[in-house]
Amino acid sequence: MQDFVKIAVDAMGGDNSPKKVIDGIIHNHQINDKVFYKIFGNKKEIEKLIEKKIDTNNFEIIHTENFVQSTDSPLEAAKRGKDTSMWLAIESVKKKDTDIIISAGNTGALLVIAKLNLKMIQNIDKPALSALWPNKSGMSVVLDLGANIECSPKNLFDFSIMGASLYTSLYPNKKPNIGLLNIGSEELKGNENIKETYKILNEKKSTNFDFAGYIEGNQIMDGDINVIISDGFTGNIALKTAEGTANFIVKELKKAMTNSFLGKISSILNYSNLNKFKKRLDPRLYNGAIFLGLDTPVVKSHGGTDYIGFSNSLSVCDKIVKGNLIEKIKRNI
């Protein structure tokens, strides 16, 4: 098991858990059998779902009947006790029993419990929530997506280093371009924090990334910028807007293709292209947000995703560990 990536899994978080989580583990194991899953949750429920579907050398179940509820506030989740599946999973990475932790549970609770258990990387003041975002030529890393409503220029500069480190962990052969999300491309546009961050990034040359200046919301999908930096307020709105737009396009296209006889004929003739288009916008392929800034990687799977989405976020965990993300951040910061 020496070469295995060890993932701590909170099996009780998110919709339709633990079934969704265990099905995701089974699917992920079929793709990659060099992962060990340390699963935290109700042992009786989990054993029934996983029995004989994965080699027993690839997983261990840590029993707990207590878990964080989706309706819990972060404070309520922390008070719920140290025997919740989320707390125990985070504690396992703190003790170095596992390399990374993943949960589809309550986002606020995950961040607070992680911060209570794990240290921040030295010289980083705030953690950021980052995620992968599809573009014309592949993927971009976007952060912050909601962990911090207000950010100083230093915070935004730290996010740049962390985002670049994440990108090179996932895509080792590429040097990322970094862009600051703003209301315009001119130097005079934006608030004082954005303008000061622009100045810092422009002056501090880095061997780990190239600074490309400002990027506007309508350019995010162009693929010219690999790492997009924002405060959590703006980043979260941009993310939710993009998700809503993608869902709207898919639904409207489906309606147009099934509402009439000609539409149905057209959909049959263009089935292959439509299928590719649908897959390109499938949010399950980009599932797995990462809390950056803590000295151990913490991954948040979307609570509403299915087992395919959860499996994809497990693959992100594997890439992060193999890409030495934390060491890259520490070295670059």
Structural tokens at position 274: 């439509």
Distances (CA, A) of 324 to 100, 103, 230, 295, 329: 11, 20, 24, 12, 9
Distances (CA, A) of 76 to 48, 107, 118, 311: 30, 13, 19, 29
pLDDT of residue 67: 93
pLDDT of residue 275: 63
One digit per residue, the tens of pLDDT, for the chain of length 333 reads 568 999 999 999 999 999 999 999 999 999 999 999 999 999 999 999 998 889 889 999 999 999 999 888 988 988 888 999 999 999 999 999 999 999 999 988 999 999 999 999 999 999 999 988 888 888 899 998 888 889 999 999 999 999 999 999 988 888 899 999 999 877 777 889 999 999 999 888 778 889 999 999 889 888 889 999 999 999 888 888 877 877 787 777 777 767 776 656 766 656 566 566 566 666 677 777 899 999 998 999 988 889 999 999 999 999 999 998 998 888 887
Domains and CATH numbers, the chain: 1-124+293-333 (3.40.718.10), 126-283 (3.40.718.10)
Q: What is the DSSP string of 270-300?
A: THHHHHHHHHHT-GGGG--EEEESBSS-EEE
pTM of this structure: 0.86
Q: How far apart are alpha carbons 242 and 217 in whole angstroms?
A: 10
Structural tokens at position 115: 């911060």
In the block, residue with structure tokens 């897959």: 279
In the block, residue with structure tokens 């910028």: 225
Rg (Cα) of the chain, in Å, rounded? 21
Q: How far apart are alpha carbons 90 and 109 in whole angstroms?
A: 12
